[in-house]
Structure 1
Amino acid sequence: MLISVLFLIPGLRATVHADAAAVRQAPPAVGTQGESQVERPQNGLKNATSPYLLQHQYNPVDWHEWGPEALALAKRQNKPIFLSIGYSACHWCHVMERESFEDEETAALMNRCFVCIKVDREERPDIDATYMAAVQRMTGSGGWPLSVWLTPDLQPFYGGTYFPPLRRGNSPSFRDVLNYVHSYWIDHAAAAADFGQQLIDEMHRRSNSSGAEEMPGRELLAAALRLSGQYYDPTHGGFARPPGFAPKFPHCTELTYLLRLGTVPGNERASEIVQQTLREMAAGGIYDQIGGGFARYSTDREWTVPHFEKMLYDNAQLAQVYLEAWQATKDPDFQRVSQEILDYVLREMVGPEGGFWSTTDADSEGVEGKFFVWSKDEFTEVCGEDAGWACDWFGVTQDGNFEGRNILTRRQDPAAFAARLRKSPEEFRAAVDILRSKLYARRESRVHPHKDDKILASWNGLMLSAFARAAAVWDEPRYLAAARSNADFLLTKMLDENGRLLRTRRLGHSHIPGLLEDYAFVGQGLLDLYEADGDLRWLRAALQLQGVCDSVFVDEERGGYWSFPEDHGELPVRIASASESALPSDVGVACMNAARLGMLAGDTASIDRARRGLARYRPQMENYPTGFCQMLILLDWLTSRPLEIYLAGEPTDEHYLAELRRLRTQYPPYRVVAAYEDSKLEALQALIPAAEGKTTRRGRPTIYRCREGVCDAPVVLE
């Protein structure tokens, strides 16, 4: 992400604007893929497991991993820490490496003046969130690469994002900034520490603020809908600041709450907003028209030119948004996109143990988007005699739409286009699929972008939910097999000897204690898988993980949850926030899990815990509701008084199966479901006591519908 940054520090101001066009022409990286890396000594990142950190192991910068040794070194030498945070698929992180971290003179200055620490934000979102919040307080904005200077006591006193290598107008170079910060530290170390401590104190106050006595009512959902409408692009869908409406991000949780809100009479506009947005996204260049899957975001209003990196968490969430859109509308195009996302993940993002890899880079051969774009000549060659209509369908021209090449789009109505070719819609779809296969095969022969093959528990939990829900809704065995394989992997490879989650795994090594998002997202995935196949192993594990949330992460005093444990490490402030960005709110998902499990088990304390979470963040939600969309989803779910459904029967009985299919495709999903055989009821009761006595009647499948613990008369299905 590239952002213009205003850097603020007592006595020092500078504005830096990055020139994207100039940066794109930077020379290829040395030290990540260049031959000269083998001639260089390795720095302190040589034993890292993160692919992002390993990309920097041959930099002349004396990088260290975050940990006791590096932090002790800063104290011992009384040097500030230069903390650089990024991730493997970050285009501008690679740019800053090429321009500055590979430069010998710049590296020498960094090594002389600072203890330099490199962090993968995907491995350590706790560190990233802490210091991103500080930089946002200092500058009013943030992004990656994140560049922060800390005192040896970890107080942030100066920061920004991307810095250019050379002075541009009034904007200083990175080397200028290094000299400025070093001089300021030498002359004003005490002032720097005071400034940093003020930031830490403010962050502490925010994380420890009290909320309201009661959770908000449904009127907040209406207020959120009005706010979403202010940032909605009525021409091309999506949400961004008018009048330019760019860049555009998917906003998955916002789309989800709007889609569900759109089922309420009088709120049809909410559903229309979602449907237009999803259609525009799927037709644009942000969607990989050949291989499936979405890029991180669109740089333009029309969704044409993406930032080409593909993130597992985006695709996990978007697969579910399109799935819910299909449930709400039965539009086959939404089903197609959701399934193409999942098929892309199965084809390209699954490791040998069953875990899902994290990201695909934007760059290949040092050029952004090179793997994904087409010249008209190559496209025409691959398509052969179909090239004429194929160019028209995919928007391919001689001049292209991205630096002389073509990002494929799909802007035309398929039924009208098929009629023009005198084909039925089915014949046309088959013809397009044949061309996509040919284009995919040609693209596979290119140099691929780097894949970050580390496995993150939280992101895997999101994708587990996607496969489990798709398996249940579409009765697709491949998706169920993928979900089961991933759940088994998480429970056998990413738990320590005490049954606690570990955050990351690569090359057979799992490490870093899990954060709230790991427990919340994996727990959600396991609960979704339980509802998909009824295996009590998944329900038992979901309850165990929620138990950790409710003992290690819960904030009993104020409600809600902390993002990391109290004994997690050296960070100067413990964060609790229900707001969100690209990922759903960890607090929101943990509260939703508590509510779902509580309703299933008849555990009112768990439901109250979810309600207290909403009450805790009510003031912030009322101030800016669309910054808390996962909490809005929870609010909508709780205030819709969801059903608790217990379905007893034999899995071979046609009436049992028909009812199960109906429940799984029903929208909106305001329910929890336990489906089981009588022979498994005793084991189920041990986990969810509310199931006691809910057996089949007269030897026939029987459904029990309850609400807030009060059940209607059982209905025998026959």
Structure 2
Amino acid sequence: MNRLADVTSPYLLQHADNPVDWWPWTPEAFEEARRRGVPVLLSVGYSACHWCHVMAHESFEDQDTADYLNEHFVSVKVDREERPDVDAVYMEAVQAATGQGGWPMTVFLTPEAEPFYFGTYFPPEPRHGMPSFRQVLQGVQQAWETRRDEVTEVAGKIVRDLAQREFEHGGAGAPGGEELGQALLALTREYDPQRGGFGGAPKFPPSMVIEFLLRHHARTGSEGALQMARDTCERMARGGLYDQLGGGFARYSVDRDWVVPHFEKMLYDNALLCRVYAHLWRATGSEQARRIALETADFMVRELRTEQGGFASALDADSDDGTGRHVEGAYYVWTPEQLREVLGAEDAELAAQYFGVTEEGTFEEGASVLQLPLSEGVHDAARVDGIRRRLLQARAERPAPGRDDKVVAAWNGLAVAALAETGAYFDRPDLVEAALGAADLLVRLHMDEHAGLARTSRNGRAGANAGVLEDYADVAEGFLALASVTCEGVWLDFAGLLLDHVLTRFTDPDTGALHDTAVDAEQLIRRPQDPTDNAAPSGWTAAAGALLGYAAHTGSAPHRTAAERALGVVTALGPRVPRFIGWGLAVAEALLDGPREVAVVGPSLTDERTRTLHRTALLATAPGAVVACGTPGGDEFPLLADRPLVDGGATAYVCRDFTCDAPTTDPERLRAALGG
């Protein structure tokens, strides 16, 4: 066992018995490189990464390769999900140098952590114009021995160039209706009207953009925005991206038609898409959206919830195919013969037609990814449900993909928001309870009022890595959603504690720009800062949304001002690259709409009319609306102050900037006031 034996990351633990003498990312690793006078190999990946496993098997498990590495390098292994700051800084260097990036990320550093040679996956033998990993190692080692001054000079220049990169902040302030309209127009130009989604292959689920489209429709009535959101959601739900048997979404589609996914299932994708489909149902009443939201929520609870109540990070793409081979997608794909073995000839024929399973296959080796190419309702629903149950039961007997069971704070915050809202919309108190369990774990294990938020935990043990901006922002977002759903003001208080850290430790006091790491965090070669979305909302715009929601609840001017200043970057980037700042556009829609503040008061929270008004408020489509509920005189929510009952019965107040319309006891009037 090498130095990774005692870490909490499942990805690093997968390398603990490699012959490579791995170090975790620590100051001691770089001290060792200085002592020996050798460069550092930095290898970054994550547990569900297919090519990370391939390179590990080909190179890091090979004794000769390991011997060469151990002699000439100090090797450092990083889980990008535990250290997104390290990943971001060096990925920026890789992309600047090579024009592309990805994982595994392979970077060679000086003992001062300055990068000088870059790549991603390297094969064990020269292939497709790529050198072998061994050739790369030998070339780097020779350059280090014979041209070290040149190497260190190049490394220093790279670091200086990175230090000069700054994102436009957009000094004009938060975007208005004109900028959001320009963003919608730009999205329309990139939209794929035949297949849904944006751009070509590979095609990622555009969760944050869909949230913007739904909010834009709610605010402006734009049917084009709603059509793009609705059609994209339908195509994703019918394609192989969605698990037609067990629910839940894969990470992305390798083709434009959503047929063949990259089979890893990530918590953040499923949390975001669960919420997207719930919001689509809220806007349209779509039965398909309702089904997908609930099935995705059930998938998260069934397959990702940990014993401690949190949610695991991911399920691997690869699994044993039953012959001892570790194969991508083996758990999920089917051949006609496999259908016949489980279902018999007659039902297998129906299943093949219904799920798009062909003799040629849509994936590899004649296997097909299950889809729903036919319109729902064409076949006998009870018969199809029986077929689905039998296939799911048979699939459960296959070797399952591995699970990365570390709990990432940010992604659990997204899950809390999704499960709380989905449970409330569809009268599923078990989902709200699951959200409460994860939130409780975050408070008990991850949060410290003074030290801040831990990025990860595993098996009830908090990791050593500090939370980054997205952790504070997404957990605060989850707590705010939970406060509105449960009527428990303590979640608003916890959100406020996290947002205090955002204001004091992550925000530039001069410009209002946000950094991904705290001012007192470990100093890397550059302090990472990126306002654009990746597969999940950027920490920058997620923080703006949480700050705005908290300000709407409390009337806090500093929090609202911070949100408005942070949204300046959306003014700069929204009209030009809307696909990559979708959550910022969604937050800007909330700002333009108010957001509206709803206070529901009743004689008790179990009173039927109070519950009806509360549910009506939660189902409002007004962008970013916040909901407080309680009894008159309750002090858990500032919005409840001085809100009496009308004629002794449950009453709702709708306000903007704490200026309120006339109170109402009528759910229909409340619905009309909130765009429901």
Which residue is 2:135 aligned to? 176
Which residue is 1:77 aligned to? 36
CA 1:663 to 1:617, structure 2 compared with 1: closer, same or farther past 3 Å?
closer
Unmatched tracts of structure 1, length 5 or more: 1-41, 419-427
Question: Whole-Å Cα distance in 2 between the matches of residues 286 and 620 of structure 1?
Answer: 29
Which residue is 1:149 aligned to? 108
Are 1:86 and 2:65 matched, yes or no?
Answer: no
CA 1:146 to 1:665, structure 2 compared with 1: closer, same or farther past 3 Å?
same
Question: Whole-Å Cα distance in 2 between the matches of residues 656 and 266 of structure 1?
Answer: 29
Question: Whole-Å Cα distance in 2 between the matches of residues 507 and 524 of structure 1?
Answer: 24
CA 1:617 to 1:642, structure 2 compared with 1: closer, same or farther past 3 Å?
closer
Question: Whole-Å Cα distance in 2 between the matches of residues 208 and 198 of structure 1?
Answer: 20
Question: Whole-Å Cα distance in 2 between the matches of residues 357 and 575 of structure 1?
Answer: 26
Partners of 2:596 and 2:656 within 8 A in 1: yes
CA deviation profile, 1:307-329 (whole Å, cap 9, x unmatched) = 11100000000101111111111
CA deviation profile, 1:16-69 (whole Å, cap 9, x unmatched) = xxxxxxxxxxxxxxxxxxxxxxxxxx1221112111111111211111100121
Q: How do 1:134-145 and structure 2 match up within 5 A?
A: 134-145=93-104
Residue type of the partner of 1:129? A
Are 1:383 and 2:343 matched, yes or no?
Answer: yes
Residue type of the partner of 2:608? E
Partners of 1:461 and 1:522 within 8 A in 2: yes
Residue type of the partner of 1:394? F
Q: How do 1:311-326 and structure 2 match up within 5 A?
A: 311-326=266-281
Residue type of the partner of 1:475? D
* SS of residue paired to 2:384: helix
Question: Whole-Å Cα distance in 2 between the matches of residues 468 and 451 of structure 1?
Answer: 24
* SS of residue paired to 1:271: helix
Deviates more, 1:226-235 or 1:110-119: 226-235
* SS of residue paired to 2:600: strand
Q: How do 1:627-666 and structure 2 match up within 5 A?
A: 627-649=580-602, 650-666=604-620
**Residue from 221, 243, 255 that aligns with 1:300:** 255
Deviates more, 1:267-276 or 1:706-715: 706-715
CA deviation profile, 1:456-484 (whole Å, cap 9, x unmatched) = 11111111111011122222111111111
Deviates more, 1:644-653 or 1:143-152: 644-653
Which residue is 1:273 aligned to? 228
Partners of 1:319 and 1:466 within 8 A in 2: yes
Partners of 2:172 and 2:571 within 8 A in 1: no
Deviates more, 1:613-622 or 1:644-653: 613-622
Deviates more, 1:375-384 or 1:535-544: 375-384
Note the C-alpha offset of 1:499. Answer: 6.2
Are 1:410 and 2:372 matched, yes or no?
Answer: yes
CA deviation profile, 1:510-567 (whole Å, cap 9, x unmatched) = 0222111111111110110010010122111111111111112121111132111122
Are 1:158 and 2:113 matched, yes or no?
Answer: no
Note the C-alpha offset of 1:169. Answer: 5.4
Partners of 2:505 and 2:520 within 8 A in 1: no
Deviates more, 1:184-193 or 1:460-469: 184-193
Question: Whole-Å Cα distance in 2 between the matches of residues 448 and 327 of structure 1?
Answer: 34
Note the C-alpha offset of 1:208. Answer: 7.3
Which residue is 1:259 aligned to? 214
Are 1:700 and 2:649 matched, yes or no?
Answer: yes
Note the C-alpha offset of 1:128. Answer: 0.4
Residue type of the partner of 1:455? V
Unmatched tracts of structure 2, length 5 or more: 321-325, 668-676
Q: What TM-score, normalized by structure 2, do the two folds share?
A: 0.94
Are 1:712 and 2:661 matched, yes or no?
Answer: yes
Partners of 2:613 and 2:651 within 8 A in 1: no
CA deviation profile, 1:255-312 (whole Å, cap 9, x unmatched) = 2112222345563122111211111111111111111111111111211111111000
Are 1:532 and 2:532 matched, yes or no?
Answer: no
Question: Whole-Å Cα distance in 2 between the matches of residues 80 and 357 of structure 1?
Answer: 35
**Residue from 470, 489, 496 that aligns with 1:517:** 470
Question: Whole-Å Cα distance in 2 between the matches of residues 91 and 210 of structure 1?
Answer: 36
Question: Whole-Å Cα distance in 2 between the matches of residues 68 and 264 of structure 1?
Answer: 51
Residue type of the partner of 1:368? E
* SS of residue paired to 2:296: helix
Which residue is 1:374 aligned to? 334
* SS of residue paired to 2:629: strand
* SS of residue paired to 2:567: helix
Note the C-alpha offset of 1:230. Answer: 2.8
Residue type of the partner of 1:405? A
Residue type of the partner of 2:185? R
Residue type of the partner of 1:710? T
Are 1:624 and 2:583 matched, yes or no?
Answer: no
Are 1:47 and 2:6 matched, yes or no?
Answer: yes
CA 1:541 to 1:156, structure 2 compared with 1: closer, same or farther past 3 Å?
same
Which residue is 2:673 aligned to? none
* SS of residue paired to 2:77: strand
CA deviation profile, 1:193-233 (whole Å, cap 9, x unmatched) = 33333333333333476541422222222222222223322
Question: Whole-Å Cα distance in 2 between the matches of residues 620 and 658 of structure 1?
Answer: 41
**Residue from 501, 514, 525 that aligns with 1:561:** 514
Question: Whole-Å Cα distance in 2 between the matches of residues 128 and 353 of structure 1?
Answer: 28
Note the C-alpha offset of 1:709. Answer: 2.4
Question: Whole-Å Cα distance in 1 between the matches of residues 150 and 183 of structure 2?
Answer: 42
**Residue from 346, 349, 373 that aligns with 2:301:** 346
Deviates more, 1:195-204 or 1:594-603: 195-204
**Residue from 522, 525, 528 that aligns with 1:575:** 528
Note the C-alpha offset of 1:394. Answer: 0.9
Question: Whole-Å Cα distance in 1 between the matches of residues 169 and 314 of structure 2?
Answer: 37
Question: Whole-Å Cα distance in 1 between the matches of residues 10 and 596 of structure 2?
Answer: 45
CA 1:537 to 1:266, structure 2 compared with 1: closer, same or farther past 3 Å?
closer
Partners of 2:4 and 2:23 within 8 A in 1: yes
* SS of residue paired to 1:354: coil
Are 1:110 and 2:69 matched, yes or no?
Answer: yes
Which residue is 1:394 aligned to? 355
Which residue is 2:288 aligned to? 333
Are 1:676 and 2:630 matched, yes or no?
Answer: yes
CA 1:236 to 1:617, structure 2 compared with 1: closer, same or farther past 3 Å?
closer
Deviates more, 1:472-481 or 1:213-222: 213-222
Moved over 6 A (4+): none
Are 1:287 and 2:230 matched, yes or no?
Answer: no
Question: Whole-Å Cα distance in 1 between the matches of residues 128 and 549 of structure 2?
Answer: 56
Question: Whole-Å Cα distance in 2 between the matches of residues 529 and 380 of structure 1?
Answer: 46
Note the C-alpha offset of 1:186. Answer: 2.3
Question: Whole-Å Cα distance in 2 between the matches of residues 613 and 369 of structure 1?
Answer: 41
Question: Whole-Å Cα distance in 2 between the matches of residues 620 and 393 of structure 1?
Answer: 43
Which residue is 2:457 aligned to? 505
Paired residues, what number?
658
* SS of residue paired to 1:206: coil
Residue type of the partner of 2:381? R
CA 1:576 to 1:295, structure 2 compared with 1: closer, same or farther past 3 Å?
same
CA 1:647 to 1:291, structure 2 compared with 1: closer, same or farther past 3 Å?
same
Question: Whole-Å Cα distance in 1 between the matches of residues 622 and 628 of structure 2?
Answer: 17
* SS of residue paired to 1:678: coil
CA 1:622 to 1:272, structure 2 compared with 1: closer, same or farther past 3 Å?
closer
Note the C-alpha offset of 1:378. Answer: 1.9
**Residue from 184, 196, 217 that aligns with 1:237:** 196
Partners of 1:137 and 1:199 within 8 A in 2: no
Partners of 1:223 and 1:625 within 8 A in 2: no
**Residue from 586, 599, 602 that aligns with 2:552:** 599
* SS of residue paired to 1:455: strand
Question: Whole-Å Cα distance in 1 between the matches of residues 569 and 623 of structure 2?
Answer: 25
Question: Whole-Å Cα distance in 2 between the matches of residues 459 and 336 of structure 1?
Answer: 22
